[in-house]
Structure 1
Amino acid sequence: MIEATEIDVSYDGIQVIWDLSLSVPEDEGVIAIVGPNGAGKSTLLRVLSGLHPIDDGRVTLWGEDASTLEPSEIVEKGFVHVSEERNLFDEMTVRENLEMGAYTRREGLEGNVREVFELFPVLERRASQRAGSLSGGEQQMLAIGRGLMAEPKILALDEPSEGLAPQITARMFEKIEEISEEVTVLLVEQHVHRALSLAGRAYLLENGEIVTQDTGPGLLESEYVEEAYL
C-alpha cells in the first residue's frame, strides 16, 4: 500500500499541492485521480515515484518512509510510474525497450515478455522495429508494457490516452481494465467519464487539493463533477 499523509509540494518555491492525503492499496482495481489541467495530478505521481520531494507530510510505501528510497528502489518495491512523456528509447527495438523495463530483475524475463505480447499483440508484430517508428498508440502500449515488465503491485498511468484517436482511446481503456484485474492501476486521466466508469475509488483534485472522493460511479453522479467536467 502507498499512503500520502498531509503532504505539501512546491516547485521553485511555489506551492502546488496542499495538505493532500490519499491511500492506494493493492488489489483495488482502478483508482482514478481526475481534475483540471494544472491541478497537481502529474506532480502527485512524481512524488509517489520518488522523482520529486515533498516539503511537508509523509509518504510511505508498504509501511516504509519513501523519503529514504531512490526511484529505482520504489520500482523494486512494486510501484511503477508510466509517465505522460512515455520516455521510450527511440533507437532501441520494441523488445529491447521491454527488456529495459525489467532492469531491476532478470528472472522470468521471457515469460514477462510473452505476457506483454499477449496483452498487446501488435507489439509482438513490431518486436524488432525501432520504438521511435511506432504510432502514438503503439508507443503508449509499449510504455505500459515496459512498466508491466517490472512486475508492479501498483501501476501508475499518467494520461495514457493523450494524443490518441478516439478508436485507439477506447481500446486503451479496455486494456487498462484488463490490467486492473491483476494489478492495481492508479490512473490520472483527462477522459473523466471513462476513468470514473472504471474506478472503484476516485479522487477529484483541484488547485493542489483533494476536494472530494468517492467511488468512480459515485463521482459520476455528482452534480458538481457533471457540471464542471462532463
Structure 2
Amino acid sequence: MAPTAPTIRGGPTTRPSCARRRPKPEKLRLSAELRAFVNNKLKQRWSPQQITRQLARTRPGEPAMNACPETIYRGLYNGLLDKRTARLRTRRTRRKRQRRGIPSKNAIPRMRPLHTRPQEADERRRAGHWEGDLIVGRGQASAIGTLVDRATRYTRLVHLPHGWKAPQVRDALVKQTADLPPSLRRTLTWDQGRELYLHEQIEELTGFRIYL
C-alpha cells in the first residue's frame, strides 16, 4: 500500500524567501537611444562620468535615459557598445583585473571623497562650487580642462598647451583661477583622474577644497 502524502496546512504555496529574483535587464540593452547617445560620447572621448552628468542635465526625470558610470563601463566591457568606435580614454575595452587588498599604484593618495562634499554644493544655490573635467582630443594629441560653476553654470576653459600630466594641470588651475575672489573658490569636484594627483598642492595654492 502506497504511503499517504503528507497534508499541507495553511494557504496556497508561497515562493521561498531564499529564492533569488531575476536580475533587471540592463538599461543599455533595453534602450537603443541610450546606447546611441553613450556610443557617440565615447567616440568623442568623453569619460563615463561626463556622460552620466550630461544625461542627468539634459534628460532629467527620465530614468530610462540616465545611466551611472558603472553601467557604461559594464556596457562597454560586456559588448553592448560599439568597440570599434566607443572606447575609454585609456583605450581599454576590457575591465582591468583588480586584486583585493592590494592598492593600485595609480590610486590618488589622501583623496577627499565626493560624499563628504558640503550639501551647499549639491543644492546649487551659491556660487563658488565648481565641477572640473579634462577633455582629451583626437589621438590624445591635445587636451583642455573645463571648470563649470554649479550654481551659475558659468564656464571657464583651462588651457593646457604643454600637456596634461599632474604638474601641468596644477599650474594651469592655479594660473587660470588666480583672478577669482576667495568667495568664488569654495569647492572643486573632479573625476579621479591622474591629472589631479597633486590635488593637495592645488588646494594649498588656490584655496579650493577639492573632492574626487
- Normalising to structure 2: TM-score of the pair? 0.28
Structure exhibiting the larger radius of gyration computed from Cα positions: 2
Q: Would you tell me which structure has more strand in proportion to its own residues?
A: 1
Structure of greater relative contact order (alpha carbons < 8 Å, 6+ residues apart) = 1
